[in-house]
Amino acid sequence: MSAEGTAHAPTAGEYIVHHLHHLQSGHQKAVVDFSVINLDSVFWSVLIGAFGCWLLWLAARKASSGVPGRFQAAVEVLVEMVDAQAKGIVHNATSRKLVAPLALTVFVWIFLLNAMDLLPVDLLPWIWQRLQGNHEAYLRVVPTADLSITMGLSLGVLIVCLVYNVKIKGAGGWVHELFTAPFGSHPLLYPVNFLMQIIEFVAKTVSHGMRLFGNMYAGELIFMLIALMGGAFALSGTGIALFLGHIIAGSVWAIFHILIITLQAFVFMMLTLVYVGQAHDAH
């Protein structure tokens, strides 16, 4: 995994750099390069999304009017929670028929994507390297620690918001709002209003994706630092202390991270509902 193959053990910097590198479709030539696809993020996102849909389908197929099992009860609690939040934010009953299931899907999908961070940080990359026969093979397994994925999710929410703006207010009504809100309908204020509206859409979209990315990226990095503590094991006082610290810190951070991955999925879902709800409001 080091820069010189297996000739020597990787340094801490080499270890982290290797784990932060994606399996990509090509060589990235710039900080922003839309010709390059992070294949690992796409693979895990699609696979886990399909798994989440299967879980929800399984719960719906096995649902009964009798005493529910634990799995059905958990799904029912989740559905009721999302439905209650949707009713409190999106007051249009017709819109909620689509928005509430969308919010549920967003929550489950992002929670499962985040939960990949709870796997041992070296497990899947190690398996991938053995399958490839290459100790330098790259693989990242937490899609929400990839900015391209979180920004893609937030752009999807933006598209939904734009669709509802047009659907609820009409194309003419929405265009009129773009130029007359928030400061009024005076012609001299049209450019200012339009600029403010664009800034608002951009700011909401960027912050929506960056918030999720920042939290998950930091969490992944902390797991790597904890893993380095375990890698420092040696038959010495310092080595044993670092290994014990690795076990304790890893356990504590994993337990705390369960709250983080759930909270981040909930926040992303709530902001999705809020932004769609705002699309129903007329200024």
Catalytic residue set = 207, 211, 215
d(CA 124, CA 112): 16
d(CA 145, CA 214): 7
Q: How many CA atoms lie within 13 A of 192 on its CB side?
A: 8
> Which residue in the block uniquely carries the two structure tokens 């961070």?
117
Is 224 strand, coil or helix? helix
d(CA 72, CA 62): 8
Amino acid at 87: K
* Tokens of residue 253, six digits: 């951070």
* Contact criterion met (CB below 8 Å) for 23 and 137: yes
